[in-house]
Amino acid sequence: MKKRIHLIAIVALLSLTTACKKDSTTENNSGTDTIAVKQPEANRNQVPVVRVAANGKVAVMSFDHDMHDFGTIQQGDKPTYDFAFKNTGESDLIITSAKGSCGCTVPEYPKTPIKPGESGNIKVSFDSKGKSGATTKTVSIMCNTAEGNKILTIKANIEVPKGAK
């Protein structure tokens, strides 16, 4: 009899635990239901949660160019470039973060959702102080597209002024 009571208590506890879990469907700022796709535990710190609209529609981040060459610049120059993009998908595009491959490459990105058909810019600033020669840097953009990220590349040939060390 005690075993039966313990078994019933365990089943009831499991039922309550399952019933209290949040549904994976949520509502974002645009009023559209979305489903959070969970990443494997090992990848959680590397890959953001990809959000797919409940109706199966996704955001698509389309760039005309995902690489920019500043050409030859002088050491110490701080050029910037705006990477233009458009949301060619059918769901709001949400950029969760953008990070340069080093501290000399700093991206600025829209913090509000980009609706389907709308455009935006990722402004990338590059500080060439202390650098010389052919240089390539990247910016990793984490967003809610099917891929989950996008890589932008900047290049420069950095000349050291004569007499500088």
Higher pLDDT, 10 or 95: 95
**pLDDT tens-digit readout, 145-161:** 999 999 999 999 999 98
DSSP one-letter code for 23: P
Q: Tell me whether strands 50-53 and 67-74 are parallel, antiparallel or unpaired.
A: unpaired
Residue 27 pLDDT class (50, 70, 90 cuts) = very low
Beta bridge partners, 85, equal 63, 120
pTM of the model: 0.67
Domains recognised in the chain with CATH numbers: 60-159 (2.60.40.10)
User: pLDDT digit string (tens) for 38-97?
Assistant: 444 444 454 445 556 656 789 999 999 999 999 999 999 999 999 999 999 999 999 999
